[in-house]
Amino acid sequence: MATTGDYKGIIPAMVLPLASDLSIDQAELRRVARWLAGHAGIVALMTNGHTGDVFSLTAAERASVTRIVAAEVGGKLPVISAVAAEGIREAIEQGLMQKEAGASALDIMPPHHWLRFGMRPEHVIDYFAAIGEATGLDLAVHVYPAWTRASYSCETLAELAALPAVKIFKVGTREMNKYARDIAAIRAAAPDKAVLTCHDEYLLASMVQGVDGALLGFASFIPDLIVELAESVRAGDLKRAMACQARIDPLKDVVYGMGEPTGDAHARMKLAMVLAGRLKSAAVRPPTAEPDHATRDAIARALARAGMLQRK
């Protein structure tokens, strides 16, 4: 298992390569992990996120993905794995499987039933505290959009920041006034914790809020551009940052359109990676479907304009 780091920088939430029979393409997964880890500015890799088709995988498959990636990077970078569970027992079970597979940290997604029914602040604190105590791993707080019932208040985020196991905040508030308040609340409670944007669809606007980097699926596709953007912001070079964002925008628009990341967006990103020569197959598991011909043509045109088109 890799030693833990400070997690401040760019962390790709890895895309999951699938074979033609929709099984995990292990060789391609190893190649993608090696390629991403080779970029300066990448400080960790994350498996089993939304971009990594987490909800289409069994618990055993999720552990297998982490095991493959952890073995490939060989301790050079920490590997974070997402936990998507409905209760404390299941979350601990998943967390221990990921630890055995080589994960250094866990990204804790809110249980799905919180999205439907909401939760009390003490539920959130108890959930994270129990997982951290049982696994002994670093934890990332996966902050869902403000419009969901699983959105954490600023006060709850501050309480989470005080937990010793919590090291990372993957902040996807997607409402900029609350986003700024969320960051301020975390900083006031624990200035040393890594605060990372996961706003794939408006990176520059979210990076200039004083965050430490980004943890997002888009970094699986264009890690070089996202590292450059983060470095420009860190250096205070707004002109360079704006120029970099201008190069990102056509790719962002064709993957995410005007909305937030979705399963369809992740399918479009896989296809874009295939056309750019960065992934072997765009296969996805149902009910997600591969993009239609019109969307494929739009992606190809965007890549051609960006000088990235390799396959027609």
**pLDDT tens for residues 303-312?**
999 999 996 6
The CATH label, of 3.20.20.70, 1.10.150.530, 3.90.1150.10, 2.60.40.10, for the domain at 10-238 is 3.20.20.70
Nearest to 194 by CA among 211, 177, 206, 210: 211
- Determine what percent of the chain is predicted with pLDDT higher than 90: 94
Global confidence as pTM = 0.96
Residue 307: DSSP 8-state: T
Whole-angstrom CA distances from 167 to 134, 141, 160, 164, 182 are 16, 8, 10, 7, 15
pLDDT reported for residue 122: 97
Cis omega (within 30 of 0) for bond into 287: yes
> How confident is the model over 242-247, as a mean pLDDT?
97
Residue 261 banded pLDDT, cuts 50, 70, 90: confident
Task: Please name the helix (run of DSSP H) or strand (run of DSSP E) that holds residue 209, with its range, or none.
Answer: none
pLDDT reported for residue 258: 64
pLDDT digits (tens, 9 = 90+) for 60-76: 999 999 999 999 999 99
Residue 1 banded pLDDT, cuts 50, 70, 90: very low
Mean pLDDT across the chain, nearest whole number?
95
pLDDT reported for residue 3: 44
Residues 77, 43: Cα–Cα separation, whole Å: 6
Residues 103, 98: Cα–Cα separation, whole Å: 5
Residue 280 banded pLDDT, cuts 50, 70, 90: very high
pLDDT reported for residue 144: 97
Residues 14, 29: Cα–Cα separation, whole Å: 9
CB atoms within 10 A of CB 82: 26
Residues 281, 15: Cα–Cα separation, whole Å: 11
pLDDT reported for residue 2: 43
pLDDT digits (tens, 9 = 90+) for 210-239: 999 999 999 999 999 999 999 999 999 999
> How confident is the model over 109-116, as a mean pLDDT?
96
